[in-house]
Amino acid sequence: MAANPRELDAAIAVTRFGLGAQPGEIAAARPDPRGWLKAQIRPSGAETFDTGGETSAVRLAEFRAYRRARVMAESADGGGADPAEAVRRFVRENAVGDVQNRIRLALQSPAGFRERWALFWANHFTVSAVRIQVATLVGPYENEAIRPRVFGRFADLLAAAETHPAMLLYLDQAQSVGPNSRAARVRNRAGAGRPAGLNENLAREILELHTVGIDGGYTQADVTEFARALTGLSLARPDEPATADPVVFRAPAHEPGGRTVMGRHYPDSGEAQATAILADLASHPQTARFVCRKIARHFVADDPPPALTARLEAAWLASGGDLARVAEALVDAPEAWDARPSKFKTPYEFVVSSYRALGGAPRGPQVSQALNTLGQRPFGAPSPKGWPDDAAPWAASDALVKRMQVAQALGAAAGPRVAEPASLAEAALGARLTPASAAAIRRAESRAEAVALLLMTPEFQRR
């Protein structure tokens, strides 16, 4: 296929860097594909989505109040509705709107690269609604901690994510207490309830998933030391006076003493001790390497060219972890413009790009239902590692059959609105549309079938 290189670059800019083409988008990128992408990088970060105006502080207070009320109602009448089920319903009703608004943002955004960049970081710093306590906080967390900082310094993004109430709850930090702290001594002497102590979950995942990575050169001792340094970082209890920010530092729960993490010593400075460790982890060269490879893997290929990772790493190190510079380096890297579509879309990417291509707004929970079927429930990543980003887990045979069913349903719904399937395909894929796919779409026996075929072509399934 001898496509004009700029035609091809325009299609790559919109479909690989972005979230898939809306009608006319590839044409808009054509004059200057790289400039079109770079114009989406801005200091204020990515757009936030509507959470009904509710912050994480409000949501946390609501959740706690509701749960308390349900439990009290249960003990008062000694039966009736299952309070746990009622709490789950409350959470669902709160979170469902967030999910829909986040999807709407992805469908309508004229800056698909910016939105994809934000989604990458939200997945990197995953907080999953799988834990009921945080289910209503995931949306506000993404808006408050992640989205405003995705083109800022990595150190600031890291600090905001790790100290957000949603993360403190999700990775159990809120309850962690220094074993030799004043709080532990008092509580354990009183002998009431279970003994207070350390929980190393957040410390481990920061090292393994968010900063230096599993091969970053840390040991179990580093995990434990970091967990000790983090003690004190917690949430206000429901019985404490409400403040705008539910995050508190409890000096009495902080493990006393200096700490050594990855060969560096941190004197006991209370709250500042963990802050200093986080800052050092952010600027660790291993963090640059680990995270840049992950960016390259997300944008270009499951096994990205080392030269690409090296370019991103150089931009990261030269700028002190300025993510706007890293994003620019990605756009400038020749390896990122490889003509082959080698990334298989995740279900979220597939569904979002389908709606973007077809136009029109989905009704109510349609999109969430499709994503549930395809195994990627929004805000529901199975673990702190987030959603997988490579083809193998998503390209299972069953997954492909389910995608076909989703494509059929979308084709049936959108088909009648489509004037000319061939031009729809051209607008969706530009120069990436292969002659074989174009021919198959032309030969379809109905508009519905043509649309389903388009969404299932090898090139639309990839980016």
Provide, rounded to whole angstroms, the least separation between the CB of residue 404 and another protein: 6
Is residue 343 involved in binding another protein (CB under 8 A)?
no
How far is it, in rounded angstroms, from Cα 184 to Cα 177? 7
Angstrom distances, CA of residue 23 to CA of 360, 407, 413, 425, 429: 11, 18, 18, 10, 10
Residue 36 or 218 having the CB closest to another protein: 218
In the complex with another protein, the residue whose CB is nearer, 65 or 436, is 436
Report, in Å, the least distance between residue 33 CB and another protein. 26
436 binds another protein (CB under 8 A): yes
Q: Mask 98-127, x = binds another protein (CB under 8 A)?
A: ------------------------------
d(CA 411, CA 417): 10
Please tell me the distance from the alpha carbon of residue 214 to that of residue 211, in angstroms, as a whole number: 9
Question: How far is residue 405's CA from residue 373's CA, in Å, rounded to a whole number?
Answer: 10
Give whichever of 27 and 186 is closer to another protein, judged by the CB atom. Answer: 186
Q: What count of Cα atoms within 13 Å lies in the side-chain half-sphere of residue 371?
A: 26
Q: For residues 243 and 405, which CB has a smaller minimum distance to another protein in the complex?
A: 405
Stretch that binds another protein, among 115-123, 263-271, 370-378, 421-429 (CB under 8 A): 370-378
**Is residue 448 a contact partner of residue 404, using CB atoms and an 8 Å limit?**
no
Using rule CB under 8 A, residue 394 touches another protein:
yes
Choosing from 1, 76, 189, 220, the residue that interacts with another protein (CB under 8 A) is: 220
CB 74 within 8 A of CB 183: no
Shortest reach from residue 109's CB to another protein, in Å: 26
Contact 461, 350 (CB under 8 A): yes
User: What type of residue is 221?
Assistant: A
CB closer to another protein, 238 vs 375: 375
Question: Which region, left, alpha or beta, applies to residue 248 given φ > 0 means left and ψ of -120 to 50 means alpha?
Answer: beta
Give the contact letters, 173-212, x = binds to another protein (CB under 8 A), - = no: --xxx-x----x---------xxxxxxxx--x---xx---
- Per CB under 8 A, does 398 bind another protein? yes
Residue 43 and residue 324 in contact, taking contact as beta carbons nearer than 8 Å: yes
Closer CB to another protein, 92 or 264, in the complex: 92
Total residue count of the chain as it appears in this document: 463
Residues binding another protein: number (CB under 8 A): 67
Q: What does residue 260 show for φ and ψ, rounded to 5 degrees?
A: -120, 120
288 vs 374, which CB is nearer to another protein?
A: 374
Q: Which one-letter amino acid corresponds to residue 15?
A: T
Smallest distance, another protein to C-beta of residue 460, A:
11
Q: Residue 392, Cβ neighbours under 10 Å: how many? A: 9
Nearest CB to another protein, comparing residues 77 and 445: 445
Dist. CA 412–CA 418, nearest whole Å: 11
Sites of contact with another protein (CB under 8 A): 82, 84-85, 88, 92, 130, 171-172, 175-177, 179, 184, 194-201, 204, 208-209, 214, 220, 223, 344, 369, 372-377, 382-383, 385, 388, 391-402, 404-405, 407-408, 436-437, 440, 444-445, 449, 452-453, 456-458, 461
